[in-house]
Amino acid sequence: MGDSAYLKKFVENHPKNKMAWYLLGKEYEASGQTGKARYCYIQAGGVYEAFEASKIPEDLWMGYKADLLQETKQREKRSRFLRKLGIALLIALVVIGHPSAYAPSEKTAEPATAGLQDEPGAETDPAVPDAKPATPPGKAPAKAGSAGSADAVKGPVFTAQGYAFGKAKAGAEALGGLIDLQNRTGAPILNAVVLGMEREGDYLLWTDGMPVVYELEQNPDQGTTTIQSYDAEACRCTPPDASGLQAAAERWIPYQESLGVLASAMQRYKEGTGAWPTGLDDLTGPFPDNWLAGSDPVMVKTFGPLLKRLQNAAGSGAAGQPSANSDAVKDSLAPEEQPYFSEPFEIIVDKKTHVLAVVSGDKLIRSYPVGLGGDRTPEGSFAISDKVINPNGRDNGEFGSRGMQLSDTNYAIHGTNDPDSIGKDESLGCIRMGKKDVEELFDLAPKGTKVTIGKGILPDLESVPKERFKLGHREDQTNPHRVYHWLN
C-alpha cells in the first residue's frame, strides 16, 4: 500500500479522474480492504467496467499507475503524463462502437471532454466493454477489436474538440474527443477524425477553418488500428497531406450548422406553443409564424428523425404530435445525420467589447461587432419575439434589412443605415449590426432564441465564415401592418 497515499491524494485533488479511482481501488483490493475498494470502483464507473471486462494485461494498467504516481510526485512532468494518458485512452476506441455524429457521405463529429486529464472539469469515462493496448500518435499500429462487425461505419467521421495546438497535452484532448465520438455513434467507426478548436476565454471557437488534428483508422481485415497526429509540433513528426480530409470537413461544418439551427427552432417552437412541430411548414411560415427564416435540403431530409430524437430526449412526444413509430417520423437519424451541437443556439451581447455572439453551450459559432447605446442598452435575459424583414418597409431604412425584437420591449437587434456607428455607443438602446451580419444572424437564430446582454461576458473577437450561412425557401416575412418604433 505504499502507493495508496499518493493515489488518495491525487483523487482528492482530481475527483473526476476515474482512472485514478480505479487504480486506488486496485491498491485497496490488493491489501484486503474490499469496502474501500468497492467505493473506489463505484467512483471509477465505466473505467472499472472497461478494464475488468477486458483482457488488458496487468502491466498496462500498472503502467497507468506508475505514470499517475509520477505526476503526483513531480508536477513539472505534467505534460508528459497527460500525453501518455491521452494516448492510452485510445485503447478504449479500438474495440467499441457507441454513438457518434456524421455528415452525409462524409465524416462527422461530436464534442467531448479530454480523456484522462486532470484539467478542471475534465472527466474520464471511456465506458468501454473491451479495451486493448494502442500505440502512440504518428501512424503506429495496434490490434483492432470488434471494428470488423457488419454494422461498422467506414467514415470518415468527424468530431470537433478543443485542442491546445503545439502542446503536449493536445493529444490527450484530441483522443478524448475520439472516445466521445465513438460513444455517440451506433456502430464501430473505422475512420474517425478530430478537428481542432481554439479556446478563447470560456468558449471553444467553431469556425469554417478548423484544422484536422488527429485521425484514427481501423482495418478489420488486417486487425490493426492506426493513429495519426496532424500536429507536427505535438507529435514531433511529419504528418501526411490532410487536404482531402480538410475538404470533407469543410462540407461537414455547414451541414452541422443547419442541423443546429433546425434543432433550435424545434425546441423554441415547443417552448412557445407547448407542442412539437408536425412538419417543416410549421416552422417556416410567413410572419409571424417564421420560427425559421427559411429551410435548406439538410432540414428537409432530417426533419423527421431529428424530431424523433428531440422527442425521445424530452421523454415522449406531445399529445397530437406524431409518435416515434409513425410514418411521419423515420426510424432514427443515421450516423452521418446525427447533430453535433447538443444545446439550442443562444445569442450573447457584451456591452464592454461591443460583440454579439451565437453560441451553443461553450461552442462559439459566430461573433460580430455591434453598435450599442451604452447605459441605454438594457442588461438581462430576453427572447426574440418577432423576426421581420425590412422593418421600415425597405432594406435601407434606419433599421436596415432585418429586425429581431427582444421580448415585449422597444429594443431590437437590427441593421442600420449608419454603419459607422458599429462598435460605438450611439443608439438609443437597440443593438445595431452590419447588413451581412444581421442577415446571417436572422437565418441562424430562430424565433424564441434566448438573448443575454451583459458586460465582460465575451472575448473581443470577430468570427465569421468565408461563406455566410443562408437559408432558402422563404415565405413573406415582412409586416406591413405595423410601423416599428424601436429605440434605434
List 14, 98, 354, 414, catalytic entry: 414
Q: Is 26 exposed, middle or buried (0-12, 13-18, 19+ CB in 10 A)?
A: buried
Active site residue 414: yes
- Provide the H-helix boundaries in 281-391: 297-314
Q: Which of 452, 52, 416, 477 is nearest to 289 (CA)?
A: 477
Query: Alpha helices of 364-405 — where are they, by DSSP H?
Result: none
- Kindly calculate the radius of gyration of the chain based on its CA atoms and give it in whole angstroms: 25
Query: Quick one: cell of 135?
Result: 500505440
Q: Which amino acid, one-letter code, is at 71?
A: E
Asked about 235 being catalytic, the answer comes back as no
CA atoms of 205 and 162, how far apart (whole Å) = 8
**Cell numbers for 438:** 444581421
> Exposed e or buried b for every residue in 319-331, given b needs 16+ CB within 10 A?
eebbeeeeeebbe
> Cell match 467506414: residue?
154
Q: Which of these is catalytic: 14, 40, 430, 485?
A: 430
For residue 156, cis peptide bond before it (omega within 30 degrees of 0): yes
DSSP bridge partners of 402: 389
Q: What is the DSSP letter of 139?
A: S
Three cell numbers written together for 95: 474495440
Phi, psi angle pair for 75, to nearest 5°: -60, -25
Closest CA to 475 of 296, 300, 272, 289: 289
| Residues in the chain, overall count | 488
Nearest to 192 by CA among 213, 209, 167: 213
**CA atoms of 368 and 433, how far apart (whole Å):** 8
How far is it, in rounded angstroms, from Cα 214 to Cα 174?
7
Distance CA 425, CA 54 (A): 62
CA atoms within 13 A on the CB side of 174: 35
Beta strands 355-360 and 363-369 are antiparallel
The cell for 428 is 438609443
Residue 419 neighbours by CB distance under 10 Å: 14
By C-alpha distance, which of 365, 417, 373, 419 is closest to 395?
Answer: 417
Residue with cell 445525420: 337
Number of neighbours of residue 459 by Cβ within 10 angstroms? 17
Catalytic residue IDs: 414, 430
